[in-house]
Amino acid sequence: MPTLLGKEIGSTGFGLMRLTWRITPLPQEQAFEAMKTALNHGMNFWVGGTFYGKPEYNSLVLLERYFAKYPEDADKVVISIKGGTNDVGKEPDGSPEATRRSLDKAIAQLNGRKKIDIFEFARRDPNVPLKTTFEVLEKEYVQTGKIGGIGLSEVRAETIHEAVKLTKIVAVEAELSIFSRETLEHGVADACAQYDIPLVAYSPMGRGFLSGKFKTPEDVKKFSPEIAHWPWFEPGNWEANLNLVQRIEQMARAKGATPAQFAISWTKRVPSWRKGAPKTIIPIPGSTGPARVAENAVDVEITDDEMKQLDELIAKTPRAGPRYPDDIPFDT
């Protein structure tokens, strides 16, 4: 089993974003049911964000209420929280003042129910030196025991190489799926392997594409309206990507697995398949219903031949469209 900060966690984690960051946030009790199901299936590494939803109902508020109802679960779960954004445009702000404000608010929202195990800036602030930000995080929050450790999110390889010289990095969160392999191609995975840093793979189901629930553009608008205008779903890109997904679905069905199970298991298979990959990759799928959460917890054995088939498939018909729209920073 993988470990984070010396604590054993399940091989699959749980992303909290979709519980609160949506046009219509999930009702609290329904969110609790999904969280409880995740924990019951060994998915005890949870990743949330200060900006995942409005301040009055974001990941921290949800977690505080959950641990108020289930205090016995607090020590069973390892949580990683993304923050470090300003209060106006949600832009990254790594200044000492903003760093303290983000951390203090997050800690206060948890109301003593649970310690933040890992804190990570959602994006690197290009206007503030990493050293300035990390000095505050390390000296005022890690060394004083207010948080457990520091993670990185959506960074380029150069940022990892720079960061490890300044502080201990306990995890790097990056997008990784059969659909999105940039992490493996642009040096991020190699840097994690070099420093023995666990890689936390967000969107292992390709933002829902690899779950099998998107059959038409209307399905995207129904299930994930927040991203329905993103590049993958634009005319031309949509048709190419759907064809790719259908090929992957065929491989999953041949194994008696769902596309989601197949996609999530692929990320966990990468360390033993790709030379130079980090030894630990932890996918963090997010789902809102207990049945889907339980489905995502099922591991599927993927053979070397199948990994090779997938490599060849992506080489011939790569995903169409960039990962993000132009107005969202990435590889920071």
Q: Extract the tokens encoding 312.
A: 């060849």
Angle between helices 237-254 and 259-273 (to 10 degrees): 80
DSSP one-letter code for 22: S
Determine the Cα–Cα distance for residues 142 and 161; give it in Å rounded to an integer.
20
Q: Which residues contact 158 (CB under 8 A, 6 or more apart)?
A: 187
| Closest among 29, 20, 19 to 54, alpha carbons compared | 20
Whether 52 is catalytic: yes
Considering all CA atoms of the chain, what is the largest pairwise distance in Å, rounded to the nearest integer? 54
Residues 52, 57, 141, 202: which is the catalytic one? 52
Tell me the β-bridge partners of 153: 173
Strand partners, 80: 47, 118
CA distance 186 to 276: 12
Cα-based angle 320, 177, 42 (whole degrees, multiple of 5): 155
Q: Which two tokens stand for residue 76?
A: 């069973």
Both tokens of 50, joined, read 């200060």
* Type of residue found at 196: D
Rounded CA-CA distance 158/188 in Å is: 8
The closest of 132, 190, 187 to 163, measured between CA atoms, is 132
Catalytic residues: 52
